[in-house]
Structures are given as C-alpha cells and as structure tokens.
Amino acid sequence: MCAPASRSSFNPRGRHVGSLQLKTIRKAFGSHEVLKGIDLDVKDGEFVIFVGPSGCGKSTLLRTIAGLEDATSGSVQIDGVEVGHVAPAKRGIAMVFQSYALYPHLTVKDNMGLGLKQAGVPKAEIEEKVAKAAGMLSLEPYLARRPAELSGGQRQRVAIGRAIVREPKLFLFDEPLSNLDAALRVNTRLEIARLHRSLKATMIYVTHDQVEAMTLADKIVVLNAGRIEQVGSPMELYNRPANLFVAGFIGSPQ
Ligand code: ADP
Ligand code: MG
C-alpha cells in the first residue's frame, strides 16, 4: 500500500534517521539579530546538544530548524535538501517541549496518535505505533488517562511518545527535563539515552544542564549571543576549550 502524500517527508521502514545541514543561518526579530550566522552539520544518528546562556538563541535555532520560525537568511537542509519552503508538519521533524504541550481534553493514547491521525494514517496503523511507543516508555497503564491525571514525568514521556510514533528524521528537544524534579530528571535522561541507542535516532537537544550535556552528547555546540563558540565531543570541549567562555561554561557547575 502506498503511503499518503502527506507522509512523504517521513522515513520509510520506520527508520528515525536523518541528517541536518545549517548554512549561515541568521535570524532577526526587528532590529534584534538573535542568530548571527550559524553553520552546523549533524550526521545520521548523532546526538547533538546545544548549550549556552539564557537568551543566546538556542530555542530560536531549534524553532528555525523545525520551521516554526523562518530564517532571515541562510539555509536549513535535511538530508541535503533545502526545507526553507517546507511547512513544519512536512519536515519529518518532531519536537519535544519543556512544557509538554499536550492536549488536556485528549487521552494519552489520542495525544500520542493525533499527529498520525491528522496525516491521514489508517487507524489500525496508529494503534500499532502508539502501542509500540507506549511499550518503549512504560506508558501502557496510562493510555486511557488524560494529562491532568499524570505526573510531570509521565506527561513528558507522553510528549516523547508522541514524537516517536511520527518516526521523524530528526528529534528536537527544548530543555525537556527542566520542569521535572531531580530524581525524575535522572530517570528521564537515562530513558532518552536508551531511546537514542535503540532507535539510532538523530537527536538535537537544548539544555543548560552540564550533566545532561556531558552524558548524552556525541557532540556539544556551545552558543553565545547568537554565534557558535565551539563544536566538539564532551571530552574535546572539556580538555581543549577554544576560549575562556567555553572553559567557563563547560567547566563550572551551573
Ligand atoms: P534561549 O532559548 O537561548 O534562552 P531564545 O532563542 O528563546 O533564547 O531567545 C533569544 C533572544 O531572542 C532573546 O533575546 C529573546 O527575547 C528573543 N526572541 C525570541 N523569540 C522572539 C520573538 N518571537 N520576538 C522577539 N524576540 C524574540
Ligand atoms: Mg530557550
């Protein structure tokens, strides 16, 4: 059976893999230039973390990749194909927000399946994908509940599940653990690391938490005032910071 045209941006055979190329991305809000020329390559299956001080442009960069903001100039490519003209829902990207962004009136199951329903995926296929993602995230007992009947950690797992069922080429996470208490943060971080390994997914993840950055990342991108200060593995940044800003950011507890 052919997939509907609206799903053409998603991966065939359920592979969650894609690469990303950013070419000199600039983004201004009025006269305020927030992103000042970002160049970056993210490979298939890589876990890339953006760190940097509050207000440096991390969320704006994620939103630009997702198509929720248009770059003022430069180019966003997925698998080498320019997506500047492609609507957010058609980019093959799933984003997980700090605030979960679940629909309060829908059950867990319907929250997780909504994106697929809107894309015209047949009901049986939605059921199968939601059941599989719920299994990965230990959410089976909660499928009939509404978000208000869940803990913060469970809500965030639903938001992650909703991303998984869409089989995106890129997962984007914007400070997904910031609203969780310390113990849940650790559990959910380990869960995301496990998902990255089992799905072999390409993940881009914003955090201001060094432990998250150092333990999850294949590659850390240090941002400051709309520019990249350094890109490297956690050990490269720790052992050979390019400048005092990176040394301070990576080396000192926040
Ligand atoms: P971060 O996620 O690193 O904390 P943001 O990307 O949210 O930073 O914001 C970067 C800068 O862009 C901030 O100065 C913020 O006020 C500004 N900004 C973000 N979104 C908008 C918007 N929609 N309109 C105007 N300014 C914005
Ligand atoms: Mg932010």
pLDDT digits (tens, 9 = 90+) for 215-232: 999 999 999 999 999 999
Contact between 47 and 195 (Cβ < 8 Å):
no
Distance 15 CA to ligand 2 centre (A): 28
When the pLDDT of each residue in the chain is averaged and rounded to a whole number, the result is 90
Q: Are 27 and 56 in contact (CB under 8 A)?
A: no
CA 33/CA 243 separation, integer angstroms: 23
What residues are in contact with ligand 1 under a 6 Å CB criterion? 29, 34, 52, 54-60
Quick: pLDDT tens for 146-194: 999 999 889 999 999 999 998 899 999 999 998 888 888 898 899 899 9
Per-residue pLDDT of 70-105, as tens digits, reads: 999 999 999 999 999 999 988 999 999 888 889 999
Answer whether 173's CB lies under 8 Å from 189's CB: no
Do 250 and 233 contact (CB within 8 A), yes or no?
no
- Comparing CA positions, the residue from 52, 60, 67, 66 lying closest to residue 26 is 60
Task: Note the pLDDT of residue 95.
Answer: 93
What is the mean predicted confidence (pLDDT) over 34-42? Answer: 98
Instruction: Flag whether pLDDT at 4 surpasses 60.
Output: no
Please, are residues 134 and 112 in contact by the beta-carbon 8 Å criterion?
yes
- Determine contact, residues 232/220, Cβ cutoff 8 Å: yes
SS3 at position 92 = coil
Give pLDDT, residue 16. Answer: 56
Which residue, chain included where needed, has tokens 């809107």? 118
Q: What angle do CA 116, 61, 136 make, to 5 degrees?
A: 40
CA atoms within 13 A on the CB side of 81: 10
pLDDT band for position 15 (cuts 50, 70, 90) = low
Out of 27, 34, 56, mutate this one to test ligand 1's pocket (max ligand atoms within 8 Å of CB): namely 34
pLDDT at site 10: 46
Residue 112: pLDDT over 60: yes
CA 49–ligand 2 middle distance (angstroms): 13
Report ipTM (2 d.p.): 0.98
What pTM did the predictor assign? 0.90
Taken in order 101, 105, 108, 110, the sign of the CA dihedral is: negative
